Structure 1
């Protein structure tokens, strides 16, 4: 009976995992559809937004091309928020690792195992493995108190990065102070992200702000 119960529990866990993956794929499709509709309507002169259009006093009204450029740039800021949070998490778990190509928050446990292997015989350095795992679990516990879900938000973060992109160059904090302002970034997120995904995106921003306070670095750190 014990083996049967364990087998049923395993099947149930796998089913829950598959349901989560299907839900994320469906939300991915829905968000891309919403974004596509948004830009199609923008091209037709019908910008879909619940906020009033900005007023530009003492300046000429921007043309359609300029509006599209500003919207695209702000979209990259949304992706950059997710990217910066992921980089913060990886840098904390893997201190001293400067080249993080192939590292994602989703595959941290796997990368911990790889990073703790000894070069000579391929065995695991238990002390190194334990130290990295403790850093990962302690950080995860702090983020989970803010609502971060390890089974959902790493994938959602990758989705935002793939959907919106990231900034092409380091912003000048003196000429573009909004990159260091949580309030301004929050406004951009609210303006850009569809309401269905707004809560999770704002949660990522909150987590980034918290980690920025801890390491005393700018929100967008390079």
Structure 2
């Protein structure tokens, strides 16, 4: 008995091909989704770095305060050296300053946060010369970062030449800053604490009229002595002194972009 369906009337279940307009629409939609996905990944990465940094800074806050207190106690017991004379001479000028306006104090705090941020950037840029994106780079952990960036994540192979150059620049930079009173074990955390506490100028524009007016080292040191708490003054003056030295050597302003 013959089948009730002949070859001629068999249902065609082959999917119809898309016309050119549909294909173009799908390609455009696919491209748009890929671009959106890449942008979301980039934003999520930045957000994650932000969150991690905030948690780390909170963890270090108490230890920083303890280190500052220990260092101040040590300085009082051993009042000698060029850095001590610099701070002593600066503090002697405080008696002649008039009472401080609270608005000026808030402005000074933002400037101090910016000084700390700028010093950290100058240190990192002096060591990681070829690195333009410094997210995840932190001054207290430069040595660990050197090990990371000079080791291939896939093979574990170490770029010995690059590592040697980075360590050489690190040692030269820290040796230079130590002569100005900078202590890597203390001030790397102090700068992070100041940035986290007071913010930076680009985050808090209110009250900042002309950034160029804050590029005078003497004006800044006077403002610090007038406005900042005495328990922080010595470390802030060291940060200011180091930043001024960088600016003098590289010919740039104190506050770069």
Superposed CA deviations along residues 164-207 of structure 1, whole A, max 9, x for unmatched, are 11102699x99443221001111121122211221111011000
- TM-score (structure 2 length as normaliser): 0.59
* Residue 123 of structure 2: aligned partner: 89
4+ runs deviating over 6 angstroms: none
Superposition deviation, residue 139 in structure 1 = 0.7
Equivalent residues of 1:106, 1:155 under 8 A apart: yes
Task: Name the SS of the counterpart of 2:184 in structure 1.
Answer: coil
Superposition deviation, residue 69 in structure 1 = 4.8
Are positions 1:194 and 2:240 aligned together?
no
Closer/same/farther in 2, CA of residues 26 and 145 from structure 1, 3 Å limit: closer
Q: How does 1:26-105 map to 2 (within 5 A)?
A: 26=66, 51-53=97-99, 69-105=103-139
CA distance in 2, matches of 1:174, 1:96: 33
Q: How does 1:1-222 map to 2 (within 5 A)?
A: 24-26=64-66, 51-53=97-99, 69-118=103-152, 120-168=154-202, 175-222=210-257
Largest Rg, 1 or 2:
2
Equivalent residues of 2:110, 2:204 under 8 A apart: no
Closer/same/farther in 2, CA of residues 135 and 203 from structure 1, 3 Å limit: same
Superposition deviation, residue 68 in structure 1 = 5.2
* Residue 16 of structure 1: aligned partner: none
Equivalent residues of 2:67, 2:186 under 8 A apart: no
CA distance in 1, matches of 2:232, 2:252: 27
Superposed CA deviations along residues 96-140 of structure 1, whole A, max 9, x for unmatched, are 211111111101001111111235512110100000010000110
Give the aligned length. Answer: 170
- TM-score (structure 1 length as normaliser): 0.68
CA distance in 1, matches of 2:185, 2:67: 15
Closer/same/farther in 2, CA of residues 28 and 199 from structure 1, 3 Å limit: closer
* Residue 61 of structure 1: aligned partner: none
Identify, as 1 or 2, the structure richer in helix: 2
Equivalent residues of 1:189, 1:201 under 8 A apart: yes
How big is the alpha-carbon RMSD for the aligned residues of Structure 1 and Structure 2? 2.8
